[in-house]
Structure 1
Amino acid sequence: MNNAALIRPGWTPATIALMIIGFMLFWPLGFAMLAYILWGDRLEGFKQDVNRKTDSFCGAFRRNKRSAHFGRAPFGTGNAAFDEWRDKELERLEEERRKLDEMRAEFEDYANELRRAKDREEFDRFMAERNAVSKKPSGTVPDVNEDQQ
């Protein structure tokens, strides 16, 4: 995925144009775009929090639903051996899903750290260039030999 997306949170020409068009067409669209520009970088964390809370909320219903059938899984087949095997497989799959979710979260943290390091490097480079320009006296005459090299 390209990190230099055209429509990303921030004051880019594309987002400003979309905000203006949104206000012209239907004012709530303009406000929605303004909110995205201002707080869009927080959406990833918000989505992750909502997904995590929704999964835990729905998981509680699934656990309670199984216990409500007096030891039998819902929609049981009547074959105890098959129902036990299915329950064990479902538990194994849930454990795999938890592991995958943990790995995904670790990767997202890693990718965020890489983005943060890249941003820090770009900012440091900008500040170094800015400081180098500001240290150079503005009233000096450039050396002719420097231009010919």
Structure 2
Amino acid sequence: MTTATAYDPSERPLRERSWIGKTEDWMDSRGKWAWMTAMVLGFVFFWPAGLALLFYMIWGKKMFGSKCRSRMEGRGPAAYRTAHAAMKSSGNSAFDSYKQETLRRLEEEQGAFEAFLERLRAAKDKAEFDQFMDDRARKAAAERDAPAREEA
């Protein structure tokens, strides 16, 4: 008993495919930038061709294709596993208490560092404001003294 498989036109030999299919394969082998370049050139030389390529890329999943999606999916589960492993019990109570204490200490250090950065930003803002006010006061004093010098 044979199982029915879905027909995939891209699996046909190249000599059987039309010139459009061959062009699509050639563009696919070059990547997303080839499609974008063709679309921009289509808009430059004949805008309906560029528009047609844009629609084909969107609805043909060329712009948001499986390569891009699979790359993003590769990051998600790893980050999930890392976060999940930090909360999961190892079964060893001594190690779990050590891990919990270390995580608590790291959170405290992170909070202290964020407070330090906030104080640093506030000090920098105050220094910049003080410099602005000093410059403004010097300019105002110079403008007051300028008419007095002209009269003399």
TM-score range, shorter chain: 0.3 to 0.5
Report which of the two has the higher share of helix. Answer: 2
Which structure would you say has the larger RCO, counting Cα contacts within 8 Å and 6 or more residues apart? 1
TM-score after normalising by structure 2? 0.40
Larger-Rg structure: 2
